[in-house]
Amino acid sequence: MDSQRSPNETVLITGGGGYFGFRLGCALNLKGFHVVLFDISSPAQTIPEGIKFVHGDIRHLADVEKAFHGNVTCVFHVASYGMSGREQLNRKLIHEVNVRGTDNVLQACQRRGVPRLVYTSTFNVIFGGQVIRNGDESLPYLPLHLHPDHYSRTKSIAEKKVLEANGTALERGKGVLRTCALRPAGIYGPGEQRHLPRIVSYIERGLFKFVYGDPRSLVEFVHVDNLVQAHILASEALRADKGHVASGQPYFISDGRPVNNFEFFRPLVEGLGYTFPPTRLPLGLIYCFAFLTEMVHFILGRLYNFQPFLTRTEVYKTGVTHYCSLEKARKELGYEAQPYDLQEVVEWFEAHGHGRSPDSRISECCVWGGLLGFLLVVAALTWLPPPVILLL
């Protein structure tokens, strides 16, 4: 999307109040596009001048249509629900947002004559816990019944709907709709609100006491700005002057550096002053634990909607090797992942009051020292005869 070429275009971003959607909106705004963010929640940050925010629920077609302002030439459909934690267990809402919401977006594009739609999908559409090394886009979708979670299943249904809509006629003879889907790995970057604060809270509460799985298992991540770059390139690649090369196509998008999940987070743990846990547990044990947690949530969740420590999908996503080739994205979109690390994430958390201070380390030592002393005294007392204890 070259701002020199098309400064009067308007782009609409569903889920534009979320972490990635907002970052994409800001990048497009800087390139000179008119940006409309559509979301049920407002962005956490101040909305820059020139960006319009429309509040609405993607489950309602009327809400979606009201977001189409001006000459919308591209929709980035980013909104989704149910990706992680307790959200993953709300099947009804997940379906309504991810599937019905996508139907609404497609319908609105067709009615409003929007020629391009980029869908933010996920690696999960092909992954259900099986080992994947250097997979590519020829991999079949995971059969729907094999998805351990409803989010992945509904993202898969939605991606298919989006890609099948490629080439369908727009109303009032305005040509055809061109669509493509990007399948990002786990997103990270400064200010990320979904995974990183949860990890940091586990670290701070002393719950990050072990890692699990094979240390040689490899997964992938994508820096938010690499993903922004990929979306902008994908939108361009749907244009006529790019031969509509991305039409009807899915693309895996990552930083292109497979890494062990826990090693990836080591700089964050140590950067915030904590010790990386030396204990490693078997994946199967953690999977059973996640299964039990989900069962307990299923039974008690209506009374108390607690945050499960881990879900089965999260165990797979973090502990089973799955990474994919970027070849297709490089060749067809011109995507080149830029190198990033977790330093700016560490700085972001430090700037927001996180990180273990030397004082807290000393007071923790005092607490542990005190606890040890107390246990020694109790142990010594158990050896004394009862009359002596009564005299004390």
Ligand X SMILES: NC(=O)c1ccc[n+]([C@@H]2O[C@H](COP(=O)([O-])OP(=O)(O)OC[C@H]3O[C@@H](n4cnc5c(N)ncnc54)[C@H](O)[C@@H]3O)[C@@H](O)[C@H]2O)c1
* CB-side neighbour CA atoms (13 Å) of 312: 18
Residue 151 is a catalytic residue: yes
Looking at 11, 28, 97, 283, which residue binds ligand X (CB under 6 A)? 97
Say how many residues touch ligand X, by CB under 6 A: 25
Calpha distance 345→201 (Å, rounded): 14
Q: Is 156 in the site for ligand X (CB under 6 A)?
A: no
Residue 249's DSSP bridge partners are: 180
Looking at 10, 29, 73, 80, which residue binds ligand X (CB under 6 A)? 80
- 355: amino acid identity, one letter: G
Residue 81's DSSP bridge partners are: none
Looking at 67, 74, 75, 79, which residue binds ligand X (CB under 6 A)? 79
Q: Is 190 in the site for ligand X (CB under 6 A)?
A: no
Q: Is 83 in the site for ligand X (CB under 6 A)?
A: yes
Distances in Å between the Cα of 166 and the Cα atoms of 99, 106, 115, 258 are 17, 10, 10, 31
Query: Around Cβ 282, how many Cβ atoms within 10 Å?
Result: 12
From 44-52, 72-80, 134-142, 357-365, span contacting ligand X (CB under 6 A):
72-80
Question: In 3-state terms, what secondary structure has residue 202?
Answer: helix
Rank residues 244 and 324 by Cβ distance to ligand X and give the closer one. 324
**Residue 240 CB-density burial (10 A; 0-12 exposed, 13-18 middle, 19+ buried):** exposed
Sign of CA dihedral 259, 261, 262, 264: positive
Q: How far is the CB of 101 from ligand X (least distance, A)?
A: 6
Q: Is 20 in the site for ligand X (CB under 6 A)?
A: yes
Residues 242-301 that bind ligand X (CB under 6 A): none
Q: Is 186 in the site for ligand X (CB under 6 A)?
A: yes
Q: Is 189 in the site for ligand X (CB under 6 A)?
A: no
The catalytic residue positions are: 151
**Binding stretches for ligand X (CB under 6 A):** 15, 17-21, 39-41, 57-59, 78-81, 83, 97, 120, 122, 155, 184, 186-187, 194
